[in-house]
């Protein structure tokens, strides 16, 4: 064992001897030649094979001495101070030979790779080898890498990663020295930090441009310069400061305004700027020194001196030199402020415009700094830069910047910092409004960052006005989409609704000033919205608007509206309700609403035309108070009349409704300036609506004609009103019970109007009495007494009474028919019991032509009855089995009345019997019993044949 120990000592001494031989070599050429022959081979073999720790330590130390001697530098090893300086010509020699340089570089690289295992992070178990050799290995690697030989990129990356891993491994995350940040720190840890610093500086030697410098500084910064542990932040910042001191000078070429390296130099500044506001004063001081080093390396800023006397961390003093987080102080010209503000002022004043965008881009990551004060310092600097230079950014850069902010701001952990970041959006929006709004409306699924940005923008009055104009313009002039909603329109709806939730006096002022236009915009939006989520979003935005405008009564009415639950075909009714509320609560602002919404009547989007037509109809109705100007009323009336010719039923429906409102205000004298000719045109259009293919339009037309019938003293309208009776045949059999009932009520009113004609009325009036086709409508009225809808049956009963009064005016049968109708109501007579005596009284021995036409009407109900109760044909609901039975009894009564008529309609009678026989196939025993009884009433035909 003694021999082994002596051998180990000898190996250790021999290893050191190699190092000192290199230090004291008499001639460098001899050292260079020996390196290739003896030194390199020895070191490679010893590093690979030596197992004895002291001997291995001597090998590593000897390699360091050899590297220092080979570089011929006196900055690293004190022993070299004793060497005589060589003449300059002796410094050349073999360095001019490419083969020598390539060979030497390869040998150096192999030695560096041989040292990497000694600084590799050990596993879970402590490693004495790592503890003893990590610092010597770092020093040796630094000396080897510092040789003026190109370093392969992969080896550069390996050395950088290994060195930073040592730094991260050596400082625990919970390390917190007391007092001064560097006091009380273990000497071994400080030695490692020094070794890592020298390694980084040697790597800096191979960063031949500011791009390389920037990448190296980024790697060191990422190791922990923004972590929560103060000592780690101080260590990384200290290393960064050392690197900045050795960084090259930023050369400004005469041929180009901004050098290509300027962006990388700005990136290095942006990395260090947040640290100047670090909550730890020691870290902030080192960061200020590092920034000062960078400034001195650029001609633009070489004369800038940061005032270190200014508090780098504005705020309330706390323990251990820290500052508590508070709101950022605004930079003023009279106060230099913290170093970060001083630096921004200097950069803005000296840097050319093309150098500003890289600075802005690289300041963004500061928002994620774990130290709240540093994060706030970096974001505050970003805010100041944007405030001074945002107009120098291109639209593309501004868009990318805003997009990045929205993507990253939600990850910011400090609320004050997050709010300051959103304030940067406000600054950008002032000069790049389109870019900012484009990012805001990128999707209707708003994130918390976008909602926060809207809150910030809304509190800036100029931006608020531009934002409102843009959002309303988007809603009013973009294609809302038919089957698939336009995402831009959805996003604009959500954004507009969010603006009205901001608690700011500017919002209230703008809403009060633009209330008619905003209200009209929401009416148009409701017209173009779709069912489901789109309707809910629109309703929510509208409610926010009403609350913000302090229209609580309208808000309460809106809460009960059908917007969220209605289907798209009912949205026009919601608009009508809202327009009515507007006219009731804001009568003085009706003309402003009209001026805004009227042009949308000519828009190609259906929803816009529907909303405009519905609004115009309600504005016309509100003109009854005679407070609207006559020119305004005339313009609205003409537009409403034009709506009746629209290609879509919903617009025609609201147009015809507007005609009904016109008749109302005409009677009140509010539209007298339009003249009788225009009024007749209105009534003619309303009567034409009875022939419309849409039941919704027909329903409004029935209401309009009915209203015209109630207008007194308008005998010049009577010919139009009486002629409208011819259109009621199909309406009395409409599928909608409400339309059937309204049609029968209109027929009743026409009969009342006919009865009110004076005996001395002009011939052109009396010639049109009673209503057209009243004789035939009597049959439909009788059959509708058995309608499934009680509303329709009641309307038919009222109509029958008026028809009898107007058709039977003379003779005893007229009185008997009227009495029979009254008895039916009083005694609840069965239909068969009533119709059998009633038909002879009302029909009498009428001509065969009238009998034939009335029987044809009855046959229509037989055909529907043959389809069965489950038929899906149009009208099957209106023409049920009960009306089929009623038609059968009416037909039987008509046939009995026409028994002696000549010529006899034999073919028609046979068809009626055939239709009734076919009804026996329906699987309803009660129905078949009724049909059988009806067929029994046709026995008069058999008796006539027998006779």
pLDDT at 874 over 80: no
Select the highest-mean-pLDDT range: 137-141, 149-153, 692-696.
692-696
- pLDDT at residue 141 greater than cutoff 80: yes
Q: Residues 338-353: pLDDT tens digits?
A: 888 989 999 888 888 8
In this predicted structure, the answer to whether residue 83 has a pLDDT above a threshold of 50 is no
The predicted-structure confidence for 745-770, as pLDDT tens digits, reads as follows 999 998 888 877 655 455 555 555 56
Q: What percentage of the chain exceeds 90 in pLDDT?
A: 27
Alpha-carbon torsion, ordered 369, 373, 374, 379, to 10 deg: 80
pLDDT digits (tens, 9 = 90+) for 495-541: 998 888 888 778 888 888 999 999 999 999 998 888 777 788 888 88
For residue 743, is pLDDT > 90? yes
- For residue 287, is pLDDT > 80? yes
Give the domain ranges of the chain. Answer: 1-152
**The pLDDT of residue 15 is above 70:** no
679: Cβ contacts below 8 Å, ≥ 6 apart: 662, 666, 671, 714, 717
Residue that wins the pLDDT comparison between 308 and 279? 279
Top-confidence range, 62-66, 408-412, 621-625, 702-706: 702-706
* Residue 252: per-residue pLDDT: 73
* pLDDT for 323: 39
Half-sphere CA count of 796, side-chain side, radius 13 A: 27
727 — pLDDT class (breaks 50, 70, 90) = confident
**Judging by beta carbons within 10 Å of its beta carbon (0-12, 13-18, 19+), is residue 513 exposed, middle or buried?**
exposed
Cis bond leading into 322, ω under 30°? no
- Over 50: is that where the pLDDT of 869 sits? no
Question: Is pLDDT of 91 > 50?
Answer: no
CB burial class (10 A; 0-12, 13-18, 19+) of residue 701?
buried
- In three-state secondary structure terms, 601 is helix
Task: Flag the least confident range among 186-190, 273-277, 320-324, 853-857.
Answer: 320-324
Least confident of 360-374, 887-901, 908-922: 887-901
Segment 66-82 mean pLDDT? 49
Residues with Cβ within 8 Å of 925's Cβ and at least 6 positions away in sequence, in order, are none
Residues 6+ apart with CB under 8 A from 309: none
Say what the pLDDT of residue 704 is: 94
DSSP code per residue over 797-860 = HHHHHHHHHHH--SSHHHHHHHHHHHHHHHHT--HHHHHHHHHHHHHTT--HHHHHHHHHHHHH
Q: How do residues 773-820 score in pLDDT, each as one tens digit?
A: 778 888 999 999 999 999 999 999 999 998 888 877 666 777 888 889
More confident residue, 678 or 253: 678
pLDDT value of position 589: 93
- Write the pLDDT tens digit of every residue in 21-54: 666 665 555 555 555 566 677 777 777 777 777 8
In angstroms, the CA 446 to CA 727 distance is 54
Neighbours of 778 (CB within 10 A): 22
Question: Global pTM?
Answer: 0.76
pLDDT in tens, 294-321: 999 988 888 888 886 644 444 433 333 3
In this prediction, residue 14 carries a pLDDT of 67
Q: Is the pLDDT of residue 67 over 80?
A: no
> Nearest 5°: CA angle at 264, between 258 and 268?
125
pLDDT value for 866: 55
Residue 557 has pLDDT above 80, yes or no: no
pLDDT, residue 684, reads 92
Res 628: pLDDT: 86
3-state SS string over 59-124?
HHHHHHHHHHHHHCCCCCCHHHHHCCCCCHHHHCHHHHCHHHHHHHHHHHHHHHHHHHHHHCCCCC
What's the rounded mean pLDDT across residues 897-911?
A: 75
Per-residue pLDDT at 321: 39
């Amino acid at each position: 064992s003694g021999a082994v120990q002596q051998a180990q000592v000898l190996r250790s001494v021999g290893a050191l001897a190699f190092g000192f031989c290199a230090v004291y070599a008499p001639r460098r050429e001899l050292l260079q030649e020996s390196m290739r022959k003896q030194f390199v081979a020895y070191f490679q073999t010893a590093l690979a094979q030596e197992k004895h720790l002291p001997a291995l330590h001597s090998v590593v130390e000897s390699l360091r001495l050899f590297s220092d001697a080979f570089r011929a530098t006196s900055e690293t090893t004190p022993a070299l101070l004793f060497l005589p300086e060589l003449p300059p010509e002796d410094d050349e020699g073999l360095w001019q030979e490419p083969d020598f340089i390539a060979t030497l570089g390869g040998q150096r690289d192999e030695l560096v790779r041989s040292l990497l295992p000694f600084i590799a992070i050990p596993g879970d178990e402590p490693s004495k080898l790592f503890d003893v050799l990590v610092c010597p290995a770092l020093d040796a690697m630094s000396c080897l890498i510092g040789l003026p030989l190109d370093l392969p990129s992969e080896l550069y990356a390996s050395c950088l990663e290994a060195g930073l891993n040592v730094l991260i491994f050596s400082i625990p995350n919970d390390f917190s020295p007391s007092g001064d940040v560097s006091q009380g720190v273990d000497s071994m840890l400080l030695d490692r930090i020094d070794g890592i610093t020298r390694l980084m500086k040697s790597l800096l030697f191979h960063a031949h441009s500011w791009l390389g410098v920037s990448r190296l500084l980024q790697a060191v910064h990422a190791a922990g310069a923004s972590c929560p542990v103060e000592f780690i932040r101080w260590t990384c910042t200290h290393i960064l400061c050392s690197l900045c001191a050795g960084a090259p000078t930023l050369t400004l070429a005469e041929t180009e305004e901004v050098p290509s390296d300027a962006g990388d130099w700005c990136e290095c500044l942006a990395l260090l700027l947040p640290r100047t506001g670090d909550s730890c004063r020691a870290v902030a001081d080192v960061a200020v020194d590092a920034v000062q080093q960078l400034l001195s390396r650029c001609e633009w800023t070489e004369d800038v001196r940061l005032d270190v006397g200014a508090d780098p961390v504005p705020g309330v003093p706390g323990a251990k030199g820290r500052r508590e987080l508070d709101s950022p102080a605004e930079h003023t010209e009279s106060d230099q402020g913290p170093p970060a503000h001083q630096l921004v002022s200097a950069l803005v004043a000296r840097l050319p415009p093309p150098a500003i965008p890289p600075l802005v881009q690289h300041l963004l990551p500061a928002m994620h700094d774990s130290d709240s004060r540093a994060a706030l310092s970096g974001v505050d600097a970003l805010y100041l830069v944007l405030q001074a230079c945002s107009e120098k950014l291109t639209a593309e850069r501004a868009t990318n910047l805003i997009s990045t902010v929205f993507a990253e701001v939600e990850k910011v952990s400090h609320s004050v910092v997050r709010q300051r970041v959103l304030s940067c959006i406000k600054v950008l929006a002032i000069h790049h409004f389109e870019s900012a709004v484009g990012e805001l409306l990128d999707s209707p699924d708003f994130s918390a960052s976008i909602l926060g940005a809207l809150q910030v923008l809304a509190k800036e009055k100029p931006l608020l006005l531009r934002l409102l104009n843009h959002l309303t313009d988007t809603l009013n002039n973009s294609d809302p989409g038919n089957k698939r909603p336009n995402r831009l329109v959805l996003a604009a709806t959500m954004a507009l609704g969010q603006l009205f939730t901001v608690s700011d006096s500017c919002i209230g002022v703008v809403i009060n000033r633009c209330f008619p236009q905003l209200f009209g915009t929401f009416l148009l939006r409701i017209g173009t919205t779709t069912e489901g989520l789109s309707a809910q979003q629109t309703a929510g935005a509208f409610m926010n608007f009403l609350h913000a405008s302090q229209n609580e009564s309208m808000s309460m009415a809106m809460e009960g509206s059908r917007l969220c639950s209605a289907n798209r075909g009912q949205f026009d009714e919601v608009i009508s309700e809202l327009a009515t509320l507007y006219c009731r609560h804001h009568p003085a602002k009706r003309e402003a609403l009209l001026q805004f919404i009227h042009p949308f009547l000519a828009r190609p989007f259906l929803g816009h035309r529907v909303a405009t037509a519905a609004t115009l109809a309600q504005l016309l109705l509100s003109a009854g108070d005679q407070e609207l100007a006559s020119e305004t009323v005339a313009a609205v009336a003409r537009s409403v009349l034009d709506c009746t010719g629209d290609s879509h039923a919903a617009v025609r429906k609201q147009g015809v409704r507007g005609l009904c409102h016109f008749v109302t205000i005409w009677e009140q004298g509010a539209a007298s300036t339009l003249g009788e000719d225009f009024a007749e045109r209105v009534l003619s259009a309303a009567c034409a609506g009875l022939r419309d293919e849409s039941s919704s339009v027909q329903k409004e037309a029935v209401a309009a004609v009915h209203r015209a019938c109630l207008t007194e003293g308008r005998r010049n309208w009577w010919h139009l009103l009486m002629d409208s009776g011819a259109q009621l045949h199909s309406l009395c059999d409409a599928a909608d019970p409400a339309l059937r009932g309204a049609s029968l009520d209109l027929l009743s009113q026409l009969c009342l109007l006919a009865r009110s004609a004076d005996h001395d009325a002009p011939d052109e009036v009396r010639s049109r009495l009673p209503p057209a086709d009243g004789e035939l409508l009597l049959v439909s009225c009788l059959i509708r007494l058995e309608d499934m809808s009680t509303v329709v049956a009641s309307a038919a009963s009222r109509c029958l009474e008026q028809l009898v009064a107007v058709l039977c005016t003379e003779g005893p049968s007229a009185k008997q028919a009227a009495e029979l109708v009254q008895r039916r109501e009083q005694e609840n007579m069965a239909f068969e019991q009533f119709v059998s005596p009633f038909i002879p009284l009302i029909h009498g021995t009428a001509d065969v032509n009238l009998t034939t036409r009335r029987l044809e009407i009855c046959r229509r109900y037989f055909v529907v009855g043959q389809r069965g109760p489950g038929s899906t044909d149009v009208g099957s609901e209106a023409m049920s089995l009960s009306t089929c039975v009623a038609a059968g009894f009416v037909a039987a009564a008509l046939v009995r009345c026409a028994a002696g008529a000549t010529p006899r309609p034999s073919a028609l009678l046979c068809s009626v019997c055939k239709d009734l026989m076919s009804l026996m196939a329906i699987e309803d025993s009660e129905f078949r019993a009724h049909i059988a009884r009806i067929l029994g009433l046709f026995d008069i035909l058999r008796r006539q044949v027998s006779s």
